[in-house]
């Protein structure tokens, strides 16, 4: 049985859960009480030396970093979500990294300063939040344009790049960005959110956060 | 013939050059005058939609994002730097992503605000620079500890993860961090910097920057 350490308010953790569900894998999901310091416990640091989520335990094999976990799960399942073909895999890697660097960087700066920092009592860095919005204004049009050219992010077949982008743009409502400014992205996202792999993880981004008050 | 769009002051571009040299590939290196807006030209945006470096052109195939390019080159060459084995590749992916997210984020915040912004006339964001130093204090010990456990970053065999880490920690002197605080990292880095793949790219990080005054 796989164990996935995850929190559904964390986009990197969410993308692992989406792919695990899309692959139809059975897994046990465990939370990590980061606010209470559980990430820095000696026990958890043996799984993830930086004390972050997500992390994977598969028998005696442990792995961290969300995209590495996703590629491992997809390759282990011999899934078409991450085909072995040289050029197809390269184009998927390209979009996975583009989204995980640029979209993630923008979203996480805004999400932290707009939602998490006030909630958990940290200082808000207004300039970092402003940079985050600027990154998103620069990089969201690029994925929107790509989704106007091909049905999915890395071509006309769905791939891990789509689940990864979905997790990173899941919080757009929470940070008050109108996704309809990006019509291709909005259409693509809506079609994915109604599917089982998504609904088994949560109904909407922020569900767990709201449930905890 | 491969064309690599690169600037040797950019760690993401440097890592592609290191790996291309380690693989013994012939390539043409082209600069992109980012400060003069060449990245945003219609011609260059057909190669990289965000107008960044590095990018690769291999015949009619174009690719952006440094780690995607590196994996493509290594897989195309069937190189042991990125073995096909499921778990070995997962561990390499894990360290590639850890370094490219966390070390890169720290270094680039400091490098930009300490060196680039003053040089090119942009505002310095002191808080971002402070965050950068904090990230490095948190994440450099993790790669240092790993390099105390195994000879190379992802195990006892050299892999693309080493060239990627090398490029990201290449600017440590330039940003005035004493690498000797991290003895395993220092020893590992010194052994790599004397090798041909490095010396063919530059003698030291910042060489091109200093040559331009």
Give the pLDDT confidence of A119-175 residue by residue, as tens digits: 888 999 999 999 999 999 999 999 999 999 999 999 999 999 999 999 999 999 999
Q: CB–CB of B138 and A86 under 8 A? A: no
Is B183 near chain A, with CB under 8 Å? no
Interchain CB contact of A142 with B (< 8 Å)? yes
Question: Which residue of chain B has the CA closest to A129?
Answer: B128
Render pLDDT for A3-49 as a digit per residue (tens, 0 to 9): 999 998 999 999 999 999 999 999 999 999 988 889 999 999 999 99
Which chain A positions have a beta carbon within 8 Å of B101's beta carbon? 65, 100-101
B191 in contact with chain A, both atoms CB, cutoff 8 A: no
Which residue bears the tokens 């600027």?
A134
What DSSP element (H or E) covers B56? strand B55-58
Chain B residues inside the 8 Å CB shell of A86 = 72, 75-76
Cα-Cα end-to-end distance for chain B? 32
Partners of residue A91 in chain B, C-beta under 8 Å:
63, 68
Joined tokens for residue B185: 């990292």
0.90 exceeded by the pTM? Answer: yes
Q: Could you give the CA distance from residue A120 to residue A14 in angstroms, rounded to a whole number?
A: 20
B25 touches B73 (CB < 8 A): yes
Task: Give A208's pLDDT tier (boundaries 50, 70, 90).
Answer: confident
Q: Give the pairing of strands A55-58 and A2-5.
A: antiparallel
pLDDT tens-digit readout, B141-155: 999 999 999 999 999
Compute the nearest-CA separation of A98 from chain B (Å).
6
Stated as kind and residue range, the H or E segment containing A185 is helix A183-193
| Domains of chain A with CATH codes | 2-81 (3.40.30.10), 86-210 (1.20.1050.10)
Return the residue matching tokens 């006339």: B121
Residues B121-134: tens digit of each pLDDT: 899 999 999 999 99
How far is it, in rounded angstroms, from Cα B77 to Cα B140?
A: 31
Closest Cβ opposite residue A94 in set B64, B93, B146: B64
**Nearest-neighbour CA in chain B from A86: distance (Å):** 7
Nearest CA-CA distance, residue A210 and chain B, Å? 29
* Pair of tokens at residue A34: 């980061």
Rounded to whole angstroms, the Cα distance separating A128 from A76 reads 38
Residue A65 and residue B89: Cβ atoms within 8 Å? Answer: no
**Interface size between A and B, measured as CB pairs under 8 A:** 98
DSSP letters, B113-133, are IIIIHHHHTPPP-HHHHHHHH
Task: Give the ipTM of the model, two decimals please.
Answer: 0.96
Of A63, A76, A96, nearest to B94 by CB-CB distance is A63
Residue with the two structure tokens 């009619």: B60
Give the residues of chain B that fall short of pLDDT 70. 212-213
In this prediction, residue B95 carries a pLDDT of 98
Name residue, tokens 């004390």.
A51
- Decide: B200 and B21 in contact? Cβ < 8 Å: yes
Q: What angle do CA B154, A4, A172 make, to 5 degrees?
A: 100
pLDDT at A212 over 90: no
Q: How far is CA B22 from the centre of its chain?
A: 14
Whether residue A64 lies within 8 A of chain B, CB to CB, comes out as yes
Comparing CA positions, the residue from A37, A35, A32 lying closest to residue A64 is A32
Average pLDDT, chain A: 95
Q: Is A26 exposed, middle or buried (0-12, 13-18, 19+ CB in 10 A)?
A: exposed
Closest CA to A116 of A103, A104, A129, A105: A129
What is the distance between the alpha carbons of residues A193 and A200, in angstroms, rounded to a whole number?
10
Count the Cβ atoms, other than its own, within 10 Å of residue A39: 19
- Determine contact: B133 vs chain A, CB below 8 A: no
Contact assignment for B97 to A65 by CB distance below 8 Å: yes
| Rounded (to 5) percent helix, strand, coil in chain B | 60, 10, 30
């Amino acid at each position: 049985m796989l164990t996935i350490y995850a929190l559904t308010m964390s986009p990197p953790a969410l993308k692992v859960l989406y792919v695990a569900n899309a692959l139809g894998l059975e897994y046990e999901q465990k939370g990590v009480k980061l606010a209470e310091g559980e990430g820095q416990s000696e026990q958890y640091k043996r799984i993830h030396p930086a004390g972050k989520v997500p992390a994977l335990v598969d028998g005696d094999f442990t792995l961290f970093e969300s995209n590495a976990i996703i590629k491992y799960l997809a390759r282990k399942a011999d899934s078409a979500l991450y085909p072995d073909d040289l050029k197809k895999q390269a184009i998927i890697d390209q979009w996975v990294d583009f989204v995980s660097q640029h979209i993630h960087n923008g979203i996480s700066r805004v999400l932290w300063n707009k939602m998490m920092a006030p909630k958990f009592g940290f200082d808000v860095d207004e300039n970092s939040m402003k940079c985050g919005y600027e990154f998103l204004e620069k990089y969201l049009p690029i994925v929107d344009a790509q989704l106007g050219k091909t049905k999915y992010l890395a071509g006309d077949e769905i791939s891990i790049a789509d689940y990864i982008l979905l997790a990173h743009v899941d919080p757009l409502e929470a940070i008050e960005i109108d996704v309809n400014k990006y019509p291709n992205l909005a259409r693509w996202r809506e079609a994915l959110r109604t599917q089982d792999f998504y609904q088994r993880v949560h109904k909407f981004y922020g569900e767990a956060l709201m449930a905890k008050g």
